[in-house]
Amino acid sequence: MALLVIDCSRRTELTQATGKFTFAFLTDIHLQPELNAVEGFKKAIDTINILNPDFVVTGGDLVMDAMDVSYGRADSLYNLYLDVSRGFHMPVYNTIGNHEHFGLYRREEVDTAFSEYGKKMYEKRIGPRYYSFDYKGWHFMVLDAVGITEEREYIGMIDDEQIEWIKSDLVGIDNNTPIVLSTHIPFITVQTQLAEGSLAATPASLIINNAKDVLYLFWEHNLKLILQGHLHFLEEIYLNEQVHFITAGAVSGRWWKNRPESNPEEGFLMIYVNGEDIDYDYIDYGWVPDLD
C-alpha cells in the first residue's frame, strides 16, 4: 500500500501534561456511494487502523450532502457513514459540518418544524453537536461552528448556547491543562487571501464570524491546538508561539475527484502528543480516483 507522509512537524515546549498518545483527525469525508468514495474511505480507515492511534476525531462533512437532497438520500448517506465507520478499531469522536444539516436548501419541501430538520438529523443519528472529553491530561472540546440564518443559509458561528456551555465547561478545567478544539468551519484561515488577494474579505460561510469573542473565552487557559476543516485546504497558522490552527485538508480530497494536480492530496492528520509537545503529519493514504 502506497503511503505518503508529508512532514509538518512543529514542537511546542511546555511542562504540564505528561501523557503520551496519538490521535487522527480526519475531515471532509463526504461519503457517498458514487465515485468509489466508499472504497476510498475504507482505505483511509485501513490506514488509520495500521497506524493505530488511541482515537479518531472527525472534522465534519461526514456525508456528501444532506442540505439539498431528499429525505431518502440523506437517510441513506447517514446510514452509509455509520456502517462504514464501524471499521475503525478505536473510539471515534465526531464533529458536525454544514453538509450534515438536513433540508436546509429544500425550503419548499422541508419545514423547519420537521423532527429531523437541520441539526436534528445529526443529533438523532450521530450524537450531540458539541461536547468535551479528557484524555491523558488533555481536554478536548468538539464544537458546532455552523450557524443557520433566517433565510436558511449557513454561516460560521458559535451560538450563544454553546458560548455559555464553553464558559461552564472551562470552570472545571485547570488553567494549565492543554486544550484542543475541533471545529468544522475555521476560526482563522488565509485561503481567501491567497486565492483572491491580501485585502479580500473571507465569506461568512468560510470562517467563524464571532471567532474573536469565542477565542477570548480561552484567554486565561492553555489553548494549544485548533483543528479545522471545511476548506479542503491544508494550512497551519502558529499564533504567538502558543496556538496551532491547522486546517486539515480533506479525506475526500477534491470531493473524490482528485487529479494529480489537486492540492491537497486526499489525506488526514496524525497528531503525536508527548507530554505537552505536539508533532503532526499529513498522511496521504494512497487513494486513486477513477478518472474514466
Whether 289 is covered by a domain: the verdict is: no
Check residue 136 and give left, alpha or beta (phi > 0: left; psi -120 to 50: alpha): left
Whether 59 is covered by a domain: the verdict is: yes
Whether 260 is covered by a domain: the verdict is: yes
Q: Tell me 86's DSSP state.
A: G
Query: Could you tell me the CATH number of the domain that includes residue 200?
Result: 3.60.21.10
Q: State the residue range of the domain holding 221.
A: 4-284
Whether 57 is covered by a domain: the verdict is: yes
Whether 292 is covered by a domain: the verdict is: no
Residue type at 129?
Answer: R
CA distances from 43 to 95, 112, 268, 282 (A): 21, 37, 12, 15
Whether 63 is covered by a domain: the verdict is: yes
Q: Over its length of 292 residues, how does the chain's per-residue pLDDT go in tens digits? A: 334 444 454 444 333 566 899 999 999 999 999 999 999 999 999 999 999 999 999 999 999 999 999 999 999 999 999 999 999 999 999 999 999 999 999 999 999 999 999 999 999 999 999 999 999 999 999 999 999 999 999 999 999 999 999 999 999 899 999 999 999 999 999 999 999 999 999 999 999 999 999 999 999 999 999 999 999 999 999 998 889 999 999 999 999 986 655 667 899 999 999 999 899 999 999 988 776 5
Reduce the DSSP state of residue 274 to 3 states and report it.
strand
User: What residues are paired with 31 via a beta bridge?
Assistant: 63
Taking a C-beta distance cutoff of 8 angstroms, is the pair 287, 40 a contact?
yes
Whether 290 is covered by a domain: the verdict is: no
| Element at 196 (helix H, strand E) | helix 191-196
Any residues with CB less than 8 A from the CB of 21 and at least 6 apart, and which? Answer: 53, 54, 135, 136, 273
Beta carbons within 10 angstroms of residue 215's beta carbon = 19
> How many residues make up the chain in this entry?
292
Whether 291 is covered by a domain: the verdict is: no
Number of domains into which the chain is organized: 1
